[in-house]
């Protein structure tokens, strides 16, 4: 089993920045893909960023491209989401996930198989 424990988040004014962390523990292998999803009130959970840990290929949702950055410290098994230029539309509960990409992919689409999830952390952006 793998546990993903999130930290970071909180409240910030529009234009500000936050960084989320997701630390893995337990079994050594949790999949090559890491991702961040978010769920706004009354809406479905959607993916915002993915990273293939082996070759560091990243993928971003259009809504966050250029503002958010996903990264990973493999030695510490910790994945980060740096969020800049935040807007009220970024308000949501953010979840990290680890999983496996489809065969033949050299990046992690949001449709990858996500095996493990973090507990979620609230990000609130005020105008």
pLDDT exceeds 90 at position 58: yes
Average pLDDT of the segment spanning 40-64: 95
Residues in the chain: 127
Percent of the chain with pLDDT over 90: 80
Round the average pLDDT of the chain to a whole number and report it. 94
Closest to 92 in 3D by CA, of 38, 45, 11: 38
Average pLDDT of the segment spanning 50-69: 95
Q: How far is CA 29 from CA 1, 72, 84, in A?
A: 9, 15, 30
For the chain, how big is the Rg over CA atoms in Å? 14
Distance CA(106)–CA(64), nearest Å, equals: 21
Beta pairing class for 10-13 and 121-126: parallel
Q: What pLDDT score does 12 carry?
A: 98
Q: What pLDDT score does 1 carry?
A: 87
Residue 8 in 3-state DSSP?
Answer: strand
Q: What pLDDT score does 54 carry?
A: 87
Distance CA(6)–CA(21), nearest Å, equals: 5
pLDDT tens-digit series, residues 63-109:
999 999 999 998 999 999 999 999 999 999 999 999 998 888 889 99
Q: What pLDDT score does 127 carry?
A: 94
């Amino acid at each position: 089993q793998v546990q993903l424990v999130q930290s970071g988040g909180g409240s910030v004014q529009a234009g500000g920045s936050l960084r989320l962390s997701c630390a893995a523990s337990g079994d050594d292998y949790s999949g090559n893909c890491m991702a961040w999803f978010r769920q706004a009130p009354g809406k479905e959970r959607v993916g915002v960023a993915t990273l293939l840990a082996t070759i560091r290929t990243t993928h971003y949702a259009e809504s966050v491209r250029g503002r958010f950055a996903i990264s990973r410290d493999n030695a510490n098994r910790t994945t980060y989401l740096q969020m800049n230029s935040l807007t009220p539309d970024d308000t949501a509960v953010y979840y990290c996930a680890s999983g496996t990409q489809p065969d033949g992919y050299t990046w992690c689409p949001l449709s990858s198989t996500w095996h493990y999830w973090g507990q979620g952390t609230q990000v609130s952006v005020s105008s």
